[in-house]
Amino acid sequence: DVKVTQSSRYLVKRTGEKVFLECVQDMDHENMFWYRQDPGLGLRLIYFSYDVKMKEKGDIPEGYSVSREKKERFSLILESASTNQTSMYLCASSDRDKYEQYFGPGTRLTVT
Amino acid sequence: EDQVTQSPEALRLQEGESSSLNCSYTVSGLRGLFWYRQDPGKGPEFLFTLYSAGEEKEKERLKATLTKKESFLHITAPKPEDSATYLCAVLPVGDDKIIFGKGTRLHILP
């Protein structure tokens, strides 16, 4: 079974803190994705990566950066957390030739 | 603009009452259409991929179908454990980003 894990289920941070969210997949997938999910807005793509050290902006990259130093690991970084970044963050991975994405359990981030 | 619209937004059914969820899409070409199930506070769980009109996939009480403009997720004789949000997503031709609909919240009453 595909397994995508995320470093925390719940996280509470203060405004201005630097926040790291980590995602690890064990299926040797080339593609990895970071989304945020908010009520009424659905899933929105923040960043994605096709390969190690490669990254592409999604629909809402402002205020975020990413890092992919190893194939199995994709990190999302909030350089200076703000209250409007309070959300559920979801990581996903997919095979290069099959497009279905497999999601992690999510991190509920609260910025106060 | 590529779009995915799901209806209804919410649906309440009695246990055993069959129904269908709709996903209509507007894309120039379709590489794939996906259905996911999401339980509260959890990540979406992959259910099906459909690639071409006329294709059908089944899993337990769920059956997904695809036409050129829409997909249906049919649920037959649902049980309370089928209660969840069902998400539809499409991957357009020439794109690498999946477009998600906002989901249908399904509640099955015992």
H, E, C per residue of A6-39: ECCCEEEECCCCCEEEEEEECCCCCEEEEEEEEC
Q: Confidence band (pLDDT; 50, 70, 90) for B95?
A: confident
pLDDT of residue B19: 98
Residue B55 has pLDDT above 90, yes or no: yes
Measured distance CA(A87)–CA(A36) in Å, rounded: 6
Residue A27 has pLDDT above 80, yes or no: yes
Residue A1 has pLDDT above 70, yes or no: no
Residue to test with chain B: of A6, A46, A96, A100, most B Cβ within 10 A = A100
Q: With an 8 Å Cβ cutoff, are A103 and B43 in contact? A: yes
> Residue A66: left (phi > 0), alpha (psi -120 to 50), or beta?
beta
pLDDT of residue A2: 64
Q: Which residues in chain A have their CB less than 8 angstroms from residue B31's CB?
A: 99
Measured distance CA(B79)–CA(B39) in Å, rounded: 15
Which residues of chain B from 10 to 39 reach within 8 Å of chain A, CB to CB?
31-32, 34, 36
Using CB atoms, pick whichever of B36, B42, B100 lies closest to residue A106: B42
Q: Please indicate if any CB of chain A lies within 8 Å of the CB of B87.
A: yes
Residue A33 has pLDDT above 70, yes or no: yes
Residue B2 has pLDDT above 90, yes or no: no
The mean pLDDT of chain A is 95
Residue B71 has pLDDT above 90, yes or no: yes
Residue A97 has pLDDT above 90, yes or no: no
Residue B70 has pLDDT above 70, yes or no: yes
pLDDT of residue A96: 84
Q: With an 8 Å Cβ cutoff, are A99 and B101 in contact? A: no
> Residue B76: left (phi > 0), alpha (psi -120 to 50), or beta?
beta
Strands (E), chain B: 3-7, 10-14, 19-26, 30-38, 45-50, 56-59, 62-66, 70-75, 84-92, 99-100, 104-109
Nearest chain A CA: its distance from B61 CA (Å): 21
pLDDT of residue B16: 97
What mean pLDDT comes out for the span A14-36?
A: 96
Measured distance CA(B79)–CA(B72) in Å, rounded: 19
What mean pLDDT comes out for the span A57-85?
A: 97
pLDDT of residue A75: 98
